[in-house]
Amino acid sequence: MRARCSNGCRATGRLIAFDRDPEAIAVGEAIADPRFSIVHASFAEMGSELPARGVLRVDGVLLDLGVSSPQIDTAARGFSFRFDAPLDMRMDTTRGETAADFLARADERDIARVIKDHGEERFAQQIARALVARREGGSPVRTTGELAALVARVVKTREPGQDPATRTFQGLRIHVNAELEALEQGLNAALALLAPGGRLVVISFHSLEDRIVKTFIARESRDVVDRRAPFAPPRPLRLHALGRVKPSEGELRANPRARSAVMRVAERTEVL
């Protein structure tokens, strides 16, 4: 994001990045540009982190959601069913509960809820039942390969070209990293920090994320009347939706993983 500072930073601007992944932080810290800095935190925390650094207003916020290609392609991170590795799935490997730890302690109802709500998996109950049965048999799922194999036995039908475990892995990853809660917090923080005319840009990669972003922008792009005080002036709109962009054919050829990407853009109104 480009920042406006209270401590006299140059008008040429600053770019402040947020990332939870220690490996991404190490890469960012190697960038030798005084205008750039990186913070080891979720973007959900920018509402407190930026003012503490003297940044009170920003000209733009870009939220790039979900898991990154380096995370997916590193077997040890446990994000992918293409490799057999410890079932970790944490974006920040320095804190929090792994996916394996969650499956080792949660009851069947909670496991089913996570897989259904966050993975949109219609066989969530059957998968949760199988996971708990295996755990009670003395062999809890601890690796990506074990989880993928279990799901493949339970899920007998799936969309063409999609691995049976895709939705289960998505649901567990979103839960372990509290991604949807972080998105809600990040959107509200961005709105509070954006200067008039500043841009909010959000790139999402599945329908749950995009639905939250779409709803947020729509809500903040209309006047709101307080029903408790119907004669009071409505709260003025705070965002102006500018559009929705899907990847081009050229982009998809260069990066097939972008096939589900949706970019939504909105501008902060003059009213603060």
Written as tens digits, the pLDDT of the chain (272 aa) is 555 545 444 557 899 999 999 999 999 999 999 999 999 999 999 999 999 999 999 999 999 998 999 999 999 999 999 999 999 999 999 999 999 999 999 999 999 999 999 999 999 999 999 999 999 999 999 999 999 999 999 998 777 778 999 999 999 999 999 999 999 999 999 999 999 999 999 999 999 999 999 999 999 998 766 567 666 666 678 999 999 999 999 999 999 989 999 999 999 997 65
Is the domain defined by 3-68+179-268 classed in CATH 3.40.50.150?
yes
Annotation: CATH topology of 93-176: DNA polymerase; domain 1 (1.10.150)
Q: Which helix (H) or strand (E) holds 56?
A: strand 55-64
Indicate the residue type of 63: L
Which of 112, 100, 170, 171 shows the shortest CA–CA distance to 139?
100
Cα(81)–Cα(40) distance, integer angstroms: 27
Cβ–Cβ < 8 Å for 38, 29: yes
Q: What is the pLDDT of residue 272?
A: 57
Could you tell me the CA-to-CA distances from 133 to 103, 116, 128 in Å, in that order?
Answer: 11, 18, 9
Pairing of strands 36-40, 15-19: parallel
Rounded to two decimals, the pTM is 0.88
Q: Where are the domains of the chain?
A: 3-68+179-268, 93-176
What is the CB neighbour count within 10 angstroms for residue 222? 14
136, 151 contact by CB (below 8 A)? no
| CA 82 to chain CA centroid, nearest Å | 21
